[in-house]
Structure formats: C-alpha cells, structure tokens
Amino acid sequence: MKNLFDDLPEKIPEELTEVLLRGKSVRIERIVSTGHASPADFWYDQPEAEWVAVLRGEAKLFFAGDEEPIHLRPGDHVLIPSHRKHRVEWTSPEEPTVWLAVFFQDSFRKND
C-alpha cells in the first residue's frame, strides 16, 4: 500500500511526475508542483484526454482561447479533451500542489 501524500518534497527544481499505473489505453500519474508554471510560450497539446484533480494545494490552468485561467483548489477537477491547448499558469509556492491525472482515449465520456 502507498499513500499519494507520502514522500512529498518541499522544494524541487522541476515539477515531479510519477506514473502510478499504465495500461493499454490509460495512464494515471501523481504530479507534484511547488510554485511551478509552464514556460510563457509553452502549451500542452496532448493526443489523449486528461482528467485532472487537485488533491492538495492550489493551481491555475489556462486554456487557449479563454480570457482567464481557472483556479483549482483541493477537490476540484477538470476534463481536458485531447488536443485542447492548455498550460499551468500558477501553482502555490507555499505548499506542494498534488495532482492526480488520468490520461485516456477520448472514447470515454464523463457522467453528467
């Protein structure tokens, strides 16, 4: 058994990504950020969809075409369709932000 909050580094030079599970059409990652953000001219443009939740800390995600970033706090989650350009605008510098990210093929649909 492992805990998602075990071994959280206080200060890290780069965002920490750990693959927790990998299957044929799904990948689950724990991501730890402390004051990290995407470079100003960088956009994620992923071939798979991503469902991401903030478990601890805070973050702001910015989507291409939007006017403002969305502010995520513990318990908040968002579904990012494949090829939806986005970037991490900000993560809390005071504490580690722990994300749980599930990457999958777009054939899955969210429950409304």
Which residues contact residue 104 at a Cβ distance below 8 angstroms, ignoring those fewer than 6 apart? 25, 26, 27, 48, 49, 50, 51
| CATH class for the region spanning 16-104 | mainly beta
pTM equals 0.89
Report residue 40 CA to chain centroid gap: 17
pLDDT digits (tens, 9 = 90+) for 3-56: 999 988 877 888 999 999 999 999 999 999 999 999 989 999 999 999 999 999
56 within 8 A of 98, measured Cβ to Cβ: yes
